[in-house]
Amino acid sequence: MSVCIGPFGWGVSLIEQSLTLPCGHTVANRLCKAAMTEGLADAHDQPTDAHQRLYATWARGGAAVLLTGNIMVDRRYLERAGNVVVQDASGMAQLRAWAQATHDSGSQLWAQISHPGRQCPRLVSWTPLAPSAVQLKVFGNFGKPRATTEADIQDVIQRFANTAALVQEAGLDGVQIHAAHGYLLSQFLSARTNQRQDGWGGTLANQARLLLEVVRAVRARVGPRYPIAVKLNSSDFVKGGFTLDDSVQVVQWLNAEGVDLLEVSGGTYEQLEFFKPQAAVAMRDSTREREAMFLEYAKSIKAVARMPIMVTGGFRTLAGMEAALAGGHTDMVGLARPFCLDPDFPARMFRGQLERLPVPEDRLVLGTGYWGPNSPSNGIRSLNNLCQAGYYYGQIERLGAGQLPLPGVRPLQALLAHLGKDTFRALRRKLFAGV
């Protein structure tokens, strides 16, 4: 832990200070590599050597916690082919090796556990599961979902608990329950996707019931000393969806459930707030604190939360991170995409050698005007989002193969490569695993 002249004078940088969670677990600093889907699993949905190389590389950078990408609780429904699935002990050796590689390089490994709900692509399932039969219409990529029955809901609850217990047994250091970005638990929270009129819908209390039941079931399986985090939208940013007021209320209910860390994010596949481009321009001191895209929303949540908060999305300067921590608006800083291009940046940032993180997003668009990121066409905006996603998926694959990042890839080239590889992974699952 260095002593240097930081944004607030002499002393230890705030981002380097440790944090003890309500369960008693301590993390070494306030920086977390937030979850990014890896797509590196084998044909049987199990971790591979690429996971070990990737996370060892990231761990050497010095972030206290590395969150996995979506670890799925049910191999019938994936966010994408290539997801790791943990629903039984068949991949325990690979999970242990993944955790050990991360520990050996200096970081903790937490599992983000998730169910995609209707955001399960046709390549994986033509009939995904959702609160109600409301189809996601994005490029025709998603089938019409089947509304969950009571038996389905109870099965989902037990699957989350089972997956949490298995990753704990494998030596991972914590779990994060994914209830954001339009996945299944997030879908239950939103009146736009949850049109039920039974005990699981109709009112916000009923809509939040599945999330609360999942948290309780996970806690019952992992015990009181194991960290449980929740990722929650501050808002869906779509008409009729989950709002900031809804989020504040759900956090108040979560206060009673023993949650150790709450990650604040936002958006769904219909409105990908976390892929909005940010120009790499110099900021005035007065605006640095607000550089994180969800920070203003997090302030309202922080006012009622009794657990530590992590804000992810948009932090690009050390001064901005320090200001957010100093202002009490967040307790941890979540970063994702910078790890894909500069995996060593935390160590250099802690040493005072790096003030601004790489931000290539302003170049990862198809063009300007109508074809740019602010196009009035939802289709063009979605295509730009997919190009960005493909770009970062490609960087993750390179790091997993032990290669250096390749920043100069063109947007459409990255997208086409990603689509081809995901199609191959899906066909491989069907051929070799019969899924």
pLDDT number for residue 139: 79
Helices 378-400 and 49-59: crossing angle, nearest 10°?
A: 90
pLDDT-based confidence at residue 319 (cuts at 50, 70, 90): very high
C-alpha distances in Å from residue 276, one per residue of 69, 273, 292, 318: 20, 5, 12, 20
Q: State mean pLDDT over 365-383.
A: 59
Q: Average model confidence (pLDDT) for the chain?
A: 89
CB-CB contact of 291 with 329 (8 Å): no
Q: Which is more confidently placed, 310 or 412? A: 310
pLDDT-based confidence at residue 274 (cuts at 50, 70, 90): very low
Specify the amino acid at residue 352.
G
pLDDT number for residue 374: 57
Q: Which fold, 18-356?
A: TIM Barrel (3.20.20)
CB-CB contact of 80 with 121 (8 Å): yes
Using DSSP's 3-state secondary structure scheme, residue 171 falls into: coil
pLDDT of 230 > 50? The answer is yes
pLDDT-based confidence at residue 313 (cuts at 50, 70, 90): confident
pLDDT number for residue 406: 92
pLDDT of 353 > 70? The answer is yes
Q: 3-state SS of the chain: helix, strand, coil percent to 5?
A: 40, 15, 45
pLDDT-based confidence at residue 293 (cuts at 50, 70, 90): confident
pLDDT number for residue 248: 97
pLDDT of 359 > 70? The answer is no
Q: State mean pLDDT over 121-130.
A: 97
pLDDT digits (tens, 9 = 90+) for 29-50: 999 999 999 999 999 999 999 9
* Share of residues in the chain with pLDDT > 90 (%): 76
Backbone angles phi, psi at 139, to 5 degrees: 55, 20
pLDDT digits (tens, 9 = 90+) for 58-109: 999 999 999 999 999 999 999 999 999 999 999 999 999 999 999 999 999 9
Q: Which two tokens stand for residue 81?
A: 């082919």
pLDDT digits (tens, 9 = 90+) for 173-194: 999 999 999 999 999 999 999 9
pLDDT of 364 > 80? The answer is no
CA–CA separation, 280 and 316 (whole Å): 9
Helices 411-428 and 378-400: crossing angle, nearest 10°?
A: 70
Domain ranges of the chain: 18-356
Mean pLDDT is lowest, of 65-79, 198-212, 381-395, for 381-395
pLDDT of 372 > 70? The answer is no
pLDDT of 376 > 60? The answer is no
pLDDT-based confidence at residue 236 (cuts at 50, 70, 90): confident
Closest residue by Cα to residue 21 from 260, 225, 370, 352: 260
pLDDT of 122 > 70? The answer is yes
CA–CA separation, 305 and 177 (whole Å): 17
Q: State mean pLDDT over 198-208.
A: 98
pLDDT of 8 > 50? The answer is no
Strands 261-265, 19-20: pairing kind: unpaired
pLDDT number for residue 435: 83
pLDDT-based confidence at residue 361 (cuts at 50, 70, 90): low
pLDDT-based confidence at residue 378 (cuts at 50, 70, 90): low
Q: State mean pLDDT over 327-343.
A: 95
